[in-house]
Amino acid sequence: MHDVNQVLAALADGLKDACSAAGFVVCRPADIAKDMPPVVVSNDRRYITFDGDGCSLKLEFCNDSIGLYFAESVTAEAADGDYTRLSLSLFNPSEADEKDLKYIVEDFADTLGERFSRGKKPKAKKAPVAVSKTAVRNGAFYDAVSFGSRFTALYPELRPHFKQNCDEYGEFLPEDFFKKHGTPFILGIIKENNPQKMKKIFNLLNEIYDNGINDVQSLIVVSILGSLYEDEKLLANCVDYMNDELCVNVIRVNKYLGAGGSKGIRMRLENPPRYKPKKAKRNLFASLLGGQQV
């Protein structure tokens, strides 16, 4: 089992260059000795803070997850409610390994690099624009924004959550949206197993999968339908509605995620790195396993 204080210290050290480039330095509380990790313990939370020019970051462990948070005030003046989440990754001290630590460092470093310039607040980003059906017919691929837009147009009750996600982050974060709203909604349809509703959702999933970039394919197969690995009956409900390629990949992914040695993979898949569009398609399952054979 990892010592959480040492883990936070190791992550802070791994993020040192990224924090420095963004204009942040580690804060060491006066009551913590120099030879000890600068970790503050508050009830069930443990965290390290970083100060910038009128703003601060917090690297926090709580409830088996590690998050990176931002506040528009320095540590000494920031209240807990002032911090907004920039990124979050699951971390179970009893199961995590060095690969998990490396993953979190890379994810958080990418987040800092994308959202900050040196010593300034998060960069403003343009509103996301969806790829049209006409563009797809002319050779373009659906990206995550297009998937989210089409999905919430089909189910308008989810549209406010889609807009809130875009407004909150300045871009569409598909993993966050689907984890909180989209995937539970789709799983509800699968559990109900109403033929008309199943056909409606899988017509969309099949179309987006066939014409989506690799990240969107992974989102559908892994983040959404990959969550069926604990219930074979729910997976069976989907088989007749998926096209052949989608069906094969969904079954393979669920089989792998249900295997005993996949806990680390499942932890990382819960909070993937921030979305980065890629046009080139790759073999989905090989990408997921990093070249491993199943």
Q: Which of 254, 227, 275, 291 is nearest to 111 (CA)?
A: 275
- Alpha-carbon distance of 78 to 157, in angstroms, equals 35
More confident residue, 261 or 89: 89
Q: Give the model confidence (pLDDT) of 184-194 as tens digits.
A: 999 999 999 99
Q: Is the pLDDT of residue 279 over 90?
A: no
Sequence-distant contacts of 183-187: CB under 8 A, at least 24 apart: 183/223, 183/224, 183/227, 185/155, 185/158, 186/224, 187/227, 187/228, 187/234
Q: Are 223 and 215 in contact (CB under 8 A)?
A: no
Q: Is the pLDDT of residue 94 over 50?
A: yes
The mean-pLDDT minimum among 31-40, 66-75, 273-282, 283-292 falls in 273-282
Mean pLDDT of 231-253: 92
Q: Give the model confidence (pLDDT) of 6-55 as tens digits.
A: 999 999 999 999 999 888 999 998 888 888 999 999 888 999 999 988 89
**pLDDT value at position 103?**
84
